[in-house]
């Protein structure tokens, strides 16, 4: 499912003293099946962007097309859009409220008006695909660890079978192990279910490792849009807006400064190590 944003503007509290323009002339095209990372410091417009995409906020001006249809068209089925573009909020696990984990996951599909059998089927499917342990299905959600709660919350959105899944900092507050598990899970869902993933994150190391396309937001505008390899060489500009490149990017640039002919586009530990070895080897041969 493709999403196109055409010159989208969004302001909070327009016409009052608290007027803030959260998005300025944002144009983006999101084709089917991409794994996209959105980064930007607090207040850069990332969350506004995600909420526009599933119709929770309405653009002040500009248009949004989902599968070629204008979502601001009077006849457009906004409710349907929210089922197709699933949004997992930051700290979604704070919103678990049913008596059991299973019931909590049922909530979304139940609201879609599906019959009980289909609802339960989807809940099973969703809980299974997030790797949630079966013995906990009918336990209350309150005793779970942070990582497990987060899985239930993600399953709740997955059960609505969205075509696009937007995750707003899905790993905030989790430890490294929990973080790797959740990101591994998201990456697996992307591969196996073929859905479009939009991952909002603060961690450059994480996005470098997982996403194929990176959108950098700054003050309500798109600052960079490209593969991590294309974006991270702009680390100086990223720093100016309160972001940073992954640690290895800096390492490669420093080595370059000392004359070692390494690829400054390396963004992960494995790439960097392999490239340093290659560069040292090459030097040896030249001699």
Partner 1 sequence: MGIIKASKLVHEFIRRDEEGNVESITTALDQVDLDVKEGQFIAILGHNGSGKSTLAKHINALLAPTEGSLWVDGMDVQKEENVIPVRKTAGMVFQNPDNQIIASVVEEDVGFGPENIGVPTDEIWQRVEKSLAAVGMTKYRNHSPNKLSGGQKQRVAIAGVMAMEPKCIVFDEPTAMLDPNGRREVIRAAHELNREKGVTIILITHYMEEVVDAVYIYVMEKGKIIMDGTPRQIFARVEELKAHRLDVPQATLVADELRRAGLDIPAGILTRRELVEAILSVRESRRG
Burial of 224 by CB count in 10 Å (0-12 exposed, 13-18 middle, 19+ buried)? middle
Q: Under the criterion CB under 8 A, does residue 41 sit at the interface with partner 1? A: yes
Report whether 221 contacts 60 (CB < 8 A): no
Burial of residue 232 (number of CB atoms within 10 Å: 0-12, 13-18, 19+):
buried
Residue of 165, 154, 147, 12 lying closest to 86 (CA atoms): 165
From 140, 178, 226, 265, residue interacting with partner 1 (rule: CB under 8 A): 178
Strand partners of residue 211: none
Asked whether position 270 contacts partner 1 by CB under 8 A, the answer is yes
Query: Rule CB under 8 A: is residue 69 a binding residue for partner 1?
Result: no
Whichever of 56 and 172 has its CB closer to partner 1, that residue is: 172
Q: Which range in 22-30, 49-57, 110-118, 276-284 contacts partner 1 by CB under 8 A?
A: 276-284
Q: Which is nearer to partner 1, 66 or 245 (CB)?
A: 245
C-alpha span between 7 and 9 (Å, rounded): 7
By CB under 8 A, name the one of 25, 103, 125, 180 that touches partner 1.
Answer: 180
Among 6, 172, 219, 265, binds partner 1 (CB under 8 A): 172
Cα–Cα distances in angstroms (integers) from residue 192 to residues 61, 119, 166, 196, in the given order: 36, 21, 17, 11
Nearest distance from C-beta of residue 137 to partner 1, angstroms: 20
Q: Quick one: tokens of 167?
A: 């995750």
Residues in contact with partner 1, counted by CB under 8 A, come to a total of: 39
Residue 43 is given by DSSP the state: T
Residues making up the chain, counted from first to last: 287
> How many Å apart are CA 41 and CA 243, to the nearest integer?
7
Cβ 243 to partner 1 shortest distance, Å: 7
Tell me how far, at minimum, the Cβ of 12 lies from partner 1, in Å.
14
d(CA 179, CA 176): 5
Which of 6, 98, 125, 205 is in the footprint of partner 1 by CB under 8 A? 205
Burial class (CB in 10 A: 0-12, 13-18, 19+), 260: middle
Residue 254 touching partner 1 (CB under 8 A): yes
Q: How far is the CB of 188 from partner 1 (least distance, A)?
A: 18
Q: Which parts of 105-164 interact with partner 1 (CB under 8 A)?
A: 145-147
Distance CA 157, CA 108 (A): 7
Task: For residue 79, count other CB atoms closer than 10 A to its CB.
Answer: 11
Site string for partner 1, 183-202 (x = CB under 8 A): -------------------x
User: In the complex with partner 1, which residue's Cβ is closer, 227 or 281?
Assistant: 281
The residues that touch partner 1, with contacts defined as CB under 8 A, are 41-43, 145-147, 172-178, 180, 202, 204-205, 242-244, 246-248, 250-251, 254-255, 258, 260, 269-270, 272-273, 276-277, 280, 283-284, 287
């Amino acid at each position: 499912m493709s999403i196109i944003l055409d010159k989208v503007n969004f302001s909070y509290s327009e016409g009052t003293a608290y007027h803030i323009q959260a998005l300025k002339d944002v144009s983006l095209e999101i084709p089917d099946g991409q794994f996209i990372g959105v980064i930007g410091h607090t207040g850069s417009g990332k969350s506004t962007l995600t909420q526009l995409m599933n119709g929770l906020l309405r653009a002040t001006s500009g248009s949004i097309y989902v599968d070629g249809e204008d979502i601001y068209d009077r006849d457009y089925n906004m409710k349907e859009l929210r089922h197709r573009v699933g949004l997992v909020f930051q700290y979604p696990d704070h919103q678990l409220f049913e008596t059991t984990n299973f019931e909590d996951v049922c909530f979304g599909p139940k609201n879609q008006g599906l019959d009980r059998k289909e609802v339960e089927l989807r809940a099973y499917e969703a809980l299974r695909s997030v790797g949630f342990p079966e013995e906990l299905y009918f336990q209350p959600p309150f005793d779970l660890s942070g990582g497990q709660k987060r899985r239930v919350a993600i399953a709740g959105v997955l059960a609505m079978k969205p075509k696009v899944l937007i995750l707003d900092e899905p790993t905030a507050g989790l430890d490294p192990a929990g973080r790797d598990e959740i990101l591994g899970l998201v990456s697996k869902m992307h591969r196996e279910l073929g859905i479009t993933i939009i991952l909002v994150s603060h961690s450059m190391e994480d996005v470098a490792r997982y996403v194929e396309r990176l959108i950098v937001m700054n003050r309500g505008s798109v600052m960079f849009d490209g593969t991590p390899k294309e974006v991270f060489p702009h680390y100086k500009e990223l720093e100016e807006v309160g972001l940073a490149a992954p640690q290895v990017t800096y390492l490669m640039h420093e080595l370059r400064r000392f004359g070692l002919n390494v690829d400054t586009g390396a963004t992960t530990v494995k790439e960097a190590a392999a490239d340093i070895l290659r560069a040292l080897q090459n030097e040896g041969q030249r001699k």
